[in-house]
Amino acid sequence: MASPDLIEQRQYAEAVLGGLNIRPFRVDLTDGLLFVPKSRIAVVRKLCKHFDWPFKVTALTSSS
């Protein structure tokens, strides 16, 4: 199971992304992936770097 710290970071990331109207998105804690719309990848990567989130940002597809 994921560590409590990682779960808190996921919850915080969801709150920030929702507040910035970056939807839809999906967080996969087991692989450390953050799926976002293709047009928002650069912005979310900057957010991850700024907040030091341990997520790899990838494009959200219909099969994700």
Q: pLDDT tens for the chain, 64 residues: list them.
A: 566 688 888 888 889 999 999 988 898 888 889 999 999 999 999 999 998 888 899 999 876 5
> Would you list the domain boundaries of the chain?
4-59
What separation in angstroms does the CA of 45 have from each of 2, 4, 40? 22, 23, 9
Handedness of CA 54, 57, 60, 63 (dihedral sign): negative
Query: Model-level pTM?
Result: 0.78
User: Cα-flanking dihedrals φ and ψ of residue 25, to 5°?
Assistant: -150, 160
Q: Identify each DSSP E strand in the chain by its residue range.
A: 26-28, 33-36, 56-59
